[in-house]
Structure 1
Amino acid sequence: MSHLKAIHHVALICSDYQRSKAFYTQVLELAVLAEQYRAERDSWKLDLALPDGGQLELFSFPSAPARPSYPEAQGLRHLAFAVADVAATAAWLQAKGIAVEPIRQDPATGRLFTFFEDPDRLPLELYQT
């Protein structure tokens, strides 16, 4: 039996800290747990809460390289959020000016899902649970 219980947090490095902070706190409405500036690294760290207890950590680092995405690179492919209603959540995002892909159905599970992007083009998924 695995000793792993759940994902505690996912860390994201952004290109524009204030823009990404506004996206995750104002658009996605995630609650701020803590925010700190680390002068020795010229870096911000923002801890954000998900309703289930999971967390996102948002970092800024000077001169961080851009994330290769298309064609898909090795590593984190996307970050998926569980939602009760994909269509309603997609509409909520679109009302805030966020582009959302057409809703699709997972052929393996029959669940509905769609994608949108954060300010750095990180693919974010809505997955109906």
Structure 2
Amino acid sequence: MLQLTQIHHIAIIASDYQRSKAFYCDVLGFSLLGEYYREARDSWKGDLALNGQYTIELFSFPTPPARVSHPEACGLRHLAFTVADVEIAVQALAEKGVTCEPIRIDDLTGKQCTFFADPDGLPLELYQA
């Protein structure tokens, strides 16, 4: 039987590597563990951590194709991050120029949540702990 233990990382391809690295590090608070240029692919790879835990591989490629990224599109729906207080997190994002959807209440859990997007339109969620 397959015994998965946890998610190792999430891979994201950015259209503008430097802009996305700044967004994930400077706006969302990830730290850059390592950064590598792969000359054969003309591609950057950044290893990003959240609270010291390796979480995201951020890639660049010269001409990546566009992807449908609306939350209801088939495929990965969104990435969700836990926060202690959604309202405070929304205000912190607003101070950095990031617009969130109106805060809503999850019908099943009664918890607050909201959605926003990364620089390439990847849907991201804040979810109350």
Is the TM-score greater than 0.5?
yes
Task: State the alpha-carbon separation in 1 of the partners of residues 24 and 71 from structure 2.
Answer: 25
Residue correspondences, number: 129
Matched-pair contact (CA < 8 Å) for 1:7–1:54 = no
Q: CA RMSD in A?
A: 1.6
Percent of paired sites with the same residue: 61
The match for 1:91 is 91
Does 2:120 match 1:124?
no
The match for 2:5 is 5
Does 2:57 match 1:57?
yes
**1:36-75 alignment to 2 at 5 Å?**
36-51=36-51, 53-70=53-70, 72-75=72-75
Task: State the alpha-carbon separation in 2 of the partners of residues 23 and 88 from structure 1.
Answer: 18
5+ long unaligned stretches in structure 1: none
Matched-pair contact (CA < 8 Å) for 2:27–2:93 = yes
Distance verdict in 2 for CA 1:20–1:112, change over 3 Å: same
Q: Secondary structure at the match of 1:108?
A: coil
Task: State the alpha-carbon separation in 2 of the partners of residues 2 and 85 from structure 1.
Answer: 36
Q: Secondary structure at the match of 1:23?
A: helix
**1:13-24 alignment to 2 at 5 Å?**
13-24=13-24
Which letter maps to 2:3? Answer: H
The match for 2:30 is 30
Task: State the alpha-carbon separation in 1 of the partners of residues 123 and 117 from structure 2.
Answer: 5
Distance verdict in 2 for CA 1:71–1:10, change over 3 Å: closer
Task: State the alpha-carbon separation in 1 of the partners of residues 81 and 54 from structure 2.
Answer: 11
Matched-pair contact (CA < 8 Å) for 1:84–1:128 = yes
Structure 1 stretch displaced more, 94-103 or 63-72: 63-72
Normalised to the residue count of structure 2, the TM-score between the two structures is 0.93
The match for 2:100 is 100
Once the two structures are superposed, residues 91-120 of structure 1 have per-residue CA deviations (whole angstroms, 9 ceiling, x without a partner) of 100111110111100001111100111000
Which letter maps to 1:88? Answer: I
Normalised to the residue count of structure 1, the TM-score between the two structures is 0.93
